[in-house]
A and B are shown apart, each in its own frame.
Chain A
Amino acid sequence: MKGGFRQSQAFLHTWSGLLLGWVLFLVFVTGTVAFWREGLNRYMRPELARVERPMAVLAGAQRFLGEKAPAAKSWSISLADARSPGAQVFWAPQPKKGEARGRRRGRRDTQALIDADGQVAHARDTRGGDFFYRFHFDLHYMPVIWARWLVGVASLMMLVAILSGIVTHKKIFRDFFTLRRHKGQRSWLDGHNATAVLALPFHLMITYTGLVTLMALLMPWAVVANYSDPAKLSDTLFPSAPAVERTGRPAPLVDLTTLVADAERRWGAPAGYLEVSEPGDAAARVTVSRSPASMLSSRTPRFAYDGVTGRPVWASAPPGGAAETAGAMIGIHAGRYADPLLRWLYFLAGVAGTLMVASGLVLWTVKRREKLPDPARPHFGFRLVERLNVTVIAGFPLGVACLFWANRLLPVEMKGRAQWEIHVLFLAWGAAAVLALVRRPTLVWPALLGATGMLLGLLPAYNLFAFPAGGLASLGVGDPLPAGVDATMLAFAAGYVAVALRVVRHRPPVRARTRRGSAPLRDVPAEMAA
């Protein structure tokens, strides 16, 4: 059974990895970038200064909301810190007669960004780093439920691929440091093994915890078994103070900064989020949540205060063991608790994971190319995988590079600018896909990789001229973010260009055709014939 067992798991590993491998590549790329979500939120709004006084921003937010939406049903304020561009505020208007709730939150006209000076931010409209974060599980241009099911199924297949990969990898310890170079398929295998095994704890963790973040959608049955009304579970897992009824008697809202100061004193940790119900009314209620950056679990404790007197009226109960575990798993996946060093390690591990997926996909074609009976006419499956590989692995990063350029170049006053930055990503990716369809992969790989490298490499230079206050100047005032992003882009640019050159110079050994009656190929690389 033993030989058969390894073999069966090798087969399972190949197919569970391949079938949705391209989806997994997109998830890994955007998830890895999303570890710098807040940093990119700042980087992609270069007009904004760094937040130095979070309480001033909060006071400004309260002033703004008091003028803009004094009689709203609720206000939401995410507190700013040095890493974020400002305080994101939402408000929900009172529901009209006959409507159960107000208009949906998140619409463009009921949100604003308050900058470091407590004023409404005058920065280019962009989704910033939040785009990568949301794409990572919501993808784009599709209903989010479909996207989350697709990403969820792909993640379960990823889990199977990792586990079957471990089982099938003979000599996992003996070959730990092995890297055979210039050996075709074996080199790709060693590269795939290295990126997989060296960061294996991360890959296992990120995959399993990723599934946990989607478990409400993917695995509701355990909830259905105990609850006829799933909302009751939400009340337990996400407790909130009892809802307030609007009295109609106006009363001034207490200064929110005092409530935040009180909550932070009680926790000994920063607050992250505020929600105000019925502001300006005598029944106003303010709920303060602890910052997820200050603890491992994503489900942070909350305090509720009377909105007029500022008296504390409610505190969330500590969660049970399973709820805390789930919160910790989601927290360890998102990495919001991580300090800069640990965040860099998350990022590097994510890069390793991305390379693992990419090398696995390429390995599939490299292995089978050597076995093709006629290299000039591979079967449909091979051609499909080969073209998908270059389209996704080389095309999507090109799209991302174009997104960063669109963020710089699209006119600041343009309507729908934020959505158009993303359209540019997909237009560039679409063009890459067309190129991949009509031209040989040997040509398209270095073209796309090289173009990506050049675009990423030129952006910091552009920034130097267009935003002299950023980059090195920011370093001078103790703000390493713009320079850090620019330097990282340069590093990736160098990497892309190096790989592009390597592909161009690659000359695999000639293999004579095995079909009779055809003239043997002379000095033509096997890739050209494909």
Chain B
Amino acid sequence: MTALALLLTLAAFGCFGFATDEHHHRLTGRRPGSAAKRRWRAAAWFGLTLAFVAAIAGRGWIVGPILWAALVMLGAGAVFLLLNLFLRRGCVNQRSA
């Protein structure tokens, strides 16, 4: 359950990140339209909600919410590092863009 919750938060923040102009452009070469952004963000919120359910199911109503919050922060941080430090390497012409 905990692992599932973590995967869900990672996916959710992946969606949030993909919905931003900067990272979407870097990954696909196109800027996302506002409808696309809305869809990706809705998917992200849905993922966070499912992660909450998974956390409660796994750890109960006291530790569950705390674990969920911690996994949300971890997911956000991991996606941040992924988008900014690891996915950059493969891109050309990225110096001081």
Contact = CB atoms under 8 A, between A and B. Distances in A.
A166 to B, nearest CB: 15
Interface string A161-193: 000000000000010111101110000000000
Interface of B: 2, 16-17, 20, 22-23, 62-63, 66-67, 69-74, 76-77, 79-80, 83-85, 95-96
Contacts, number: 56
A222 interface: no
A177 B73 contact: no
Determine which residue in B20, B22, B66, B71 has the highest number of CB atoms from chain A within 10 A of its CB, and name it.
Answer: B66
A178 B69 CA distance: 22
Given A182-B96, A201-B73, A202-B73, A342 B22 contact: no
Contacts of A341: 2, 67
Contacts of B74: 345, 348
Interface residues of A, number: 23
B41 to A, nearest CB: 10
**What 10 pairs across the A-B complex have the smallest Cβ distances?**
A345-B70, A179-B84, A198-B76, A198-B77, A177-B17, A199-B73, A201-B69, A296-B62, A177-B83, A182-B96
Contacts of A174: 20
B22 to A, nearest CB: 7
B20 A176 contact: yes
Contacts of B79: 177
Given A177-B80, A179-B80, A296 B63 contact: yes
Given A176-B16, A348-B77, A352-B77, 15 more contacts: A176-B76, A177-B23, A177-B79, A177-B80, A177-B84, A179-B85, A194-B80, A198-B73, A198-B80, A201-B72, A341-B2, A341-B67, A345-B67, A346-B70, A349-B73
Contacts of A178: 22
23 contacts: A176-B16, A176-B20, A176-B80, A177-B17, A177-B20, A177-B22, A177-B79, A177-B83, A177-B84, A179-B80, A194-B80, A199-B77, A201-B72, A296-B63, A341-B2, A341-B67, A342-B66, A342-B70, A345-B71, A345-B73, A345-B74, A348-B77, A352-B77
A291 to B, nearest CB: 15
Contacts of B85: 179
A349 B16 contact: no
Interface string A478-495: 000000000000000000
Contact of A349 (B2, B20, B70): B70
